[in-house]
Amino acid sequence: MNFVALDFETANYKHTSICQIGIVVFEDGEIVDKLSLLVKPTPNYFENLHISIHGIKPEKVKDKPTFDEYWSKILQYFENKEIVAHNASFDLSALRHTLQYFNIPFPKTTYHCSMQLSKRILKGLINYQLPTVCKHYNIDIEHHDALNDAIAAGKIIVNLCKDEQVTSIQELTTKLNFRPGKLFDNDYLPFSGKSERKSNWSHKILYDNILPQTAEFNDEHPFYEKYIVFTGALSNLSRVDAMQMVVNSGGFIKPDSLTQKTNYLVVGNYDFKQYGDGYKSTKLQKAEQYIQKNLDIEVISENDFFKMVHSEKTKFEITPKQIEKDSELFLNRNKYNELSKKDVFFTSNLSIEKIEVFQMVGNCSGYGHDYDLSYETNYIVISNYTVEKLKQGMKTESVLKVEELRNKAQNRGEVQGIKLIDEITFYEYMKRQEQFQRKEIQMNINESEIDEEYRNK
Q: Note if the pTM is more than 0.95.
A: no
Pairing state of beta strands 109-113 and 82-85?
Answer: parallel
What CA–CA distance (Å, rounded) separates 178 from 169?
Answer: 11
pLDDT per position as a tens digit, 23-64: 999 999 999 999 999 999 998 999 887 888 899 999 999 999
Angle at 245 between CA 244 and CA 248, to 5 degrees: 85
What CA–CA distance (Å, rounded) separates 383 from 396?
Answer: 11
Residues of the chain with pLDDT under 70: 194-209, 214-216, 236-237, 310-316, 372-376, 405-417, 446-457
What CA–CA distance (Å, rounded) separates 430 from 252?
Answer: 33
Domain spanning 3-193, CATH class: alpha beta
H or E stretch including 162? helix 146-164
Domain with CATH 3.40.50.10190 in the chain: 204-314, 320-455
What letter does residue 141 receive in the DSSP assignment? -
Contacts 24+ apart (CB under 8 A), 60-64: 61/11, 61/19, 64/37, 64/38, 64/39, 64/40
Collapsing DSSP to helix, strand or coil, 24 comes out as strand
Q: Alpha carbon of 133 to those of 109, 115, 119, 126, 205: distances in Å? A: 25, 8, 9, 9, 33
Q: Is residue 229 within 8 Å of residue 287, measured between CB atoms?
A: no
Give the pLDDT confidence score for residue 105 in this predicted structure.
Answer: 92
Considering the domain delimited by 204-314, tell me its CATH architecture.
Answer: 3-Layer(aba) Sandwich (3.40)
Collapsing DSSP to helix, strand or coil, 37 comes out as strand
First-residue to last-residue Cα distance in the chain: 51
Domain spanning 320-455, CATH class: alpha beta
Give the pLDDT confidence score for residue 412 in this predicted structure.
Answer: 47
The total of other beta-carbon atoms located within 10 Å of residue 383's CB is 22
pLDDT per position as a tens digit, 237-291: 678 778 888 888 889 988 788 999 999 999 987 788 777 777 777 888 899 899 9
Percent of the chain scored above 90 by pLDDT? 44
Give the pLDDT confidence score for residue 18 in this predicted structure.
Answer: 96
Domain with CATH 3.30.420.10 in the chain: 3-193
